[in-house]
Chain A
Amino acid sequence: MSVSQQHLNIYSAISANRWRTVALIVGFTVVVCLVAFVFGDYFSGSTNGGLALMPVAIGFSMVSSFASYFAGDKLVLAQSHAQELAPGAETQLRNVVETLAVGLGIDPPKIYVIEDSAPNAFATGRDPKHASIAVTRGLLDKMDRTELEGVLAHEMSHVVNRDIRVMLLITVLVGTIALLSDWMLRSMWWGGGRGSRRDRSGGGAIIAVVAIVLAILTPIIAQIIQFAVSRQREYLADASGALLTRYPEGLASALRKIAADTEPLEVANKATAPLYIANPLHDDPKFFDRLFDTHPPIQERIKRLEAME
């Protein structure tokens, strides 16, 4: 693949991600409105109760979208116990990040270190100017320069492709939806407005069923979106990272080391796991769960990188 094709790929990835960002925020608003409507209708016993909640729902969606767009990265970094790298510390890490930034024509992102011995890394932020890269202590200890370069090139590709923005919004918004529907399910379980429902025939039962189905389905649908979006982009980031360093073996070797390491990363959770370069939870997926894998199988990624040489 020539350099200009690489550019083309990055530019088309950027515009695709711009659409995804818009679609995500719109989709999120629609889901929140739907949940609020069913919720309001259920408890007040009339459609008006559902409609009355609409301004609240729209306001809530806008606030959460804005918050995750502008402050989501700080939330994710804090949740992962990432500390910003002090000036003068870890010269090699800083040099590699700066070198890759020069190769991509962007400002170097801020660098964070997570004090954990499991080797892993992620990037977050809303655009290349507001990007952060976090690496674990284990990654710094276990990788040599070319492997570190491979991992960081993968992360920097996510930064340039604007994958980080989409992943950030997904992480925060999916978490919010999961929380909302959980909340709705619980309040219905404990009874709220069932009494008033009995006044109307038929419709009430349907709304109740819809509410329950929605409460159960929304988090699952949100998760499936998350997985579908994130798997293909891991391959793309592997490929563009390899093109940047001109050395696919660096990342391949790093992935082999990460695959061999069985230690789970303590600070990662289900919400932040898709951000990392490799699944940090090390939960052995059963057949059904494979549908929900956020990362392509690591052996497959290594195989593709080896095929590039």
Chain B
Amino acid sequence: MEIWIVLAVIVVIGLFLVATYNRLVTLRQRVREAWSDIDVQLKRRYDLIPNLVATVKGYAAHEAGVFDRVTQARANAIAAGQTGSPEQRAQAENVLTGALRSVFAVAENYPQLQAVQEFKDLSENLTATEDKIAFARRFYNGNVRDYNTALQTFPTNVLAGMFGFTAEQYFELADAATEREAPKVSFS
């Protein structure tokens, strides 16, 4: 009789372990997929920058300092993307965003440049890419939060330690100007 009770308990515990493990794997997988979404958009921004620099340079060649800064920031961001943690990467991306702003600020002073179709397309594409980075980041952070919350709640936290699941880092871009607060929603 007792042996059946023991067996039943073992089976229940086993099922629980499997379910928890699988849930953590799913959540971690979502985090990784979301991260690759950010990656795609950041790479797209790297690809657009040389064209932008070339186009603006044609009209404002003497503003060389601005172009050097954005080119350097781009190289740093790419390097951080290959080796750095999300935190280092976010820092490099923030510098790049700032440098890009100054390129557009320079471009403001050249009305002929504003009228060029290529410049218009580039700036629409860059705006869209920056929007996508912001949205991809939000999606990523939402997934990280779900995963980290699961890791920290009992009894999953005990098992997570046993299976070697570790918390993921948020991707924070300190960009108060474009970031909007989440609205408060009530379903009453």
Contact = CB atoms under 8 A, between A and B. Distances in A.
B37 interface: yes
Interface residues of B, number: 29
Contact of A1 (B30, B41, B184): B184
Among A1, A95, A99, the most chain B Cβ lie within 10 Å of the Cβ of A99
B135 interface: yes
5 contacts: A1-B182, A3-B138, A102-B139, A246-B183, A247-B180
A2 B145 contact: yes
Interface in B157-188: 180-187
Of residues A99, A100, A102, A307, which shows the largest number of chain B Cβ atoms within 10 Å of its Cβ?
A102
A92 interface: yes
8 closest cross-chain pairs (CB), A and B: A103-B135, A246-B180, A95-B128, A3-B142, A308-B183, A99-B131, A1-B185, A102-B132
Contacts of A91: 121, 124
A139 to B, nearest CB: 19
Interface string B16-59: 00000000000000100110010001000000000000000000
Given A7-B142, A236-B187, 12 more contacts: A2-B145, A91-B121, A95-B124, A95-B128, A99-B128, A105-B30, A105-B34, A244-B135, A245-B180, A246-B138, A247-B183, A308-B183
A309 B149 contact: no
Which of the four size classes fits the interface of chain A?
20 to 34
Interface string A100-114: 101111000000000
B139 A243 contact: no
Contacts, number: 73
B146 interface: yes
Contacts of A127: none
A4 interface: yes
B42 to A, nearest CB: 12
Given A4-B145, A7-B146, A98-B128, A308 B184 contact: yes
B96 interface: no
Contacts of A248: 183
Nearest to A239: B185
Interface of A: 1-4, 6-7, 91-92, 95, 98-100, 102-105, 235-236, 239, 242-248, 307-309
A248 B183 CA distance: 7
Contacts of B100: none
A246 B181 contact: yes
Given A105-B33, A246-B182, A247-B180, A92 B135 contact: no
Interface in B108-127: 121, 124, 127
Contact of B139 (A2, A103, A246): A103
Nearest to A247: B180
Interface string B48-72: 0000000000000000000000000
A245 B139 CA distance: 11
B187 A239 contact: yes
Contact of B142 (A4, A235, A245, A309): A4
A102 B41 CA distance: 9
B37 A102 contact: yes
B92 interface: no
B124 A92 contact: yes
B73 interface: no
Contacts of A4: 142, 145-146, 149
B8 to A, nearest CB: 29
B135 A100 contact: yes
B77 interface: no
Contacts of B149: 4
A247 B33 CA distance: 26
A68 to B, nearest CB: 30
B151 interface: no
Contacts of B124: 91-92, 95
Contact of B37 (A105, A243, A244): A105
Contacts of A235: 187
A4 B132 CA distance: 20
Nearest to A309: B183
A99 B180 contact: no
A243 B128 contact: no
